[in-house]
């Protein structure tokens, strides 16, 4: 994953979403409070990632989700088309701090690399 950027989805301007800080919103889903953010990024085919936005690779995305204790809450199907290279995802957590930490990957290069027989998530 490269060229990771914040994506301010138009849906965040609707009632129900409250801006917490740049790119992070709060939404109340019944009794549950969720914090959400949306990111856009490019995949790297040469590192085994998907070839376009219609085919978002499981890794390193799954490792990012695990590291920052969040999950994909919106896939933006209308934006993630096979003819597009830019991928869009909304990620959510019940923890504001987890979403803040997730924002630390914006502008960085994120990929998996085998080191000493183990696949490691690299963020640089």
Host domain of residue 64: 2-123
77, 101 contact by CB (below 8 A): no
Question: By C-alpha distance, which of 65, 59, 115 is closest to 90?
Answer: 65
Q: What digits encode the pLDDT tens for the residues 28-37? A: 988 999 999 9
pLDDT range class, residue 116, cuts 50, 70, 90: very high
Q: Are 87 and 41 in contact (CB under 8 A)?
A: yes
Closest Cα partner for 3 from 70, 34, 66, 49? Answer: 49
Point out which residues pair with 118 in neighbouring strands: 115
- Nearest of 73, 67, 4, 61 to residue 32 by alpha carbon: 73
pTM of the predicted structure, to 2 decimals: 0.94
- Total of domains in the chain: 1
**pLDDT of 71:** 98
Report the pLDDT value the prediction gives residue 29, as an integer from 0 to 100: 80
């Amino acid at each position: 994953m490269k060229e990771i950027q914040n994506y301010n989805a138009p849906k965040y301007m609707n009632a129900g979403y409250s801006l917490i800080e740049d790119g992070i919103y709060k939404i109340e889903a019944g009794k549950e409070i969720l914090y959400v953010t949306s990111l856009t990024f490019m995949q790297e085919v040469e590192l085994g990632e998907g070839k376009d936005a219609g085919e978002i690779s499981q890794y390193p995305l799954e490792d990012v989700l695990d590291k920052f204790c969040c999950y994909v809450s919106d896939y933006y199907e209308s934006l993630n088309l096979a003819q597009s290279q830019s991928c869009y995802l909304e990620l959510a957590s019940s923890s504001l701090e987890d979403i803040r930490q997730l924002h630390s990957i914006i502008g960085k290069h994120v990929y998996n690399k085998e080191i000493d027989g183990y696949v490691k998530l690299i963020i640089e």
